[in-house]
Amino acid sequence: MFNINFKKNKLIPIVVILLIACLVLVILLFSKCGNEQPAQNLNPDDAAVTWNGEQEVSRPTVDNKPAIAVPGIKEMIFIANQKEQKVNLYNPRENNCYFQMNLYAEDELVWKSGNVSPGDGFYDIELTKTLPQGERQGYLIIKCYKQDGTELNSARVKFKLSVVPQ
Amino acid sequence: MKKIISLIMVVCLMATIGMATASADSVNGGTTTITYKEPDTYCVLIPETIDMTFENYRFQATDMNLAEGDEVFVTMGGLDENNYFPLTHENGVDTARKKVYYDYGSIPTDRLDMLPAYCVGYFSDEDTISRMGFMMINDGDMHFKAGNYTGTAEFTVELRESV
């Protein structure tokens, strides 16, 4: 009987220390989570209307003449010796014409698109040939057409084409 | 039993110290240097077509975010050596031409020599309106068949880094 009590007495400080350690752990955990703002009841904006798809937005004009938005490119980076490449080529959604895009490395056509509608574009393209490592002049020639096929002014976007090893 | 309890205590203590250190780090911040280069972006508005009513034009741009000293040039293709631009009558047969004049506007004088040939637009910094424009004027002694004339041009857009 005495023996059991003695053992219990020795265990008490250990259990207390363990409990304190656990308490500190729990406090630390709560202090980390406590930075979050308490939940509040949010009110919806009464001015918002039911969304029925995009409406017609104003088209780009310059001096009241219709214009075409042409995204500029400073540099395009391709991976050497592979045809699949990552790009950001698009027809801005505010335009009112198709884009036909032709991508040149120096004077060589390496990719072309079909008719790209406003708001559409490409993230992945496949070149007609692989390119060796190095820097060269790149061009994106953008031919613009109305939906009825009428040709509009076109753009040639010049940029640095860097072909790097994988 | 004692050994097991000691081991548990050591683990708890280490965990507590580790969390305290992590908590202190999040308050004081580290010394990691993060380098990030924001790429230049710009979008130039070009006219849809060119016709006989086309006289003054100054390019506009959107989403302009150029690095310090970078410049965007717009040049016009399709001009002959005398800066004439050809237009075609709606009958598809008759032609007319208008002469292009350059309006250098507010381009810094030290940049004039840097302009490429047939330059009709120039942007730098966060310009949304070109610092130069162009005019298309009928030569007084030329008479063309009445009717509508149109033409299409290729505008070259190029960003040049500061040197």
For residue range B88-99, list pLDDT tens digits in order: 999 999 999 889
Cβ neighbours of A28 in B, within 8 Å: 16, 19-20, 23
Query: Does the pLDDT of residue B101 top 70, yes or no?
Result: yes
d(CA A138, CA A161): 5
How many Å lie between the alpha carbon of B154 and the closest alpha carbon of chain A? 5
Query: Does the pLDDT of residue A3 top 60, yes or no?
Result: no
**Which of the four pLDDT bands, split at 50, 70 and 90, describes residue A137?**
very high
CB contact under 8 A, B57 and A63: yes
| Structural contact between residues B149 and B86, judged by C-beta atoms closer than 8 angstroms | no
Q: Which residue of A has its CA nearest to B53?
A: A65
B9 or A99: which leads in pLDDT: A99
d(CA A94, CA B61): 13
Q: Best of B13, B46, B55, B150 to disrupt the A interface by mutation (most A CBs within 10 Å)? A: B46
| Token reading at A121 | 């574009």
Check residue A49 and give its pLDDT: 80
Which run of H or of E encompasses B156? strand B154-160
| Structural contact between residues A121 and A91, judged by C-beta atoms closer than 8 angstroms | yes
CB contact under 8 A, A152 and B152: yes
Single-letter amino acid code for the residue at B154: E
A2 or A135: which leads in pLDDT: A135
What global pTM score does this model have? 0.71
How many Å lie between the alpha carbon of B113 and the closest alpha carbon of chain A? 20
| Structural contact between residues A72 and B42, judged by C-beta atoms closer than 8 angstroms | yes
| Token reading at B108 | 């810094």
How many Å lie between the alpha carbon of B158 and the closest alpha carbon of chain A? 5
Of the listed ranges A33-42, A71-80, A84-93, the one predicted with least confidence? A33-42
Give ∠ CA B37-B42-B47 in degrees, rounded to 5.
170
CB-CB neighbours of B68 under 10 Å: 7
Number of H helices, E strands in chain A: 1, 9
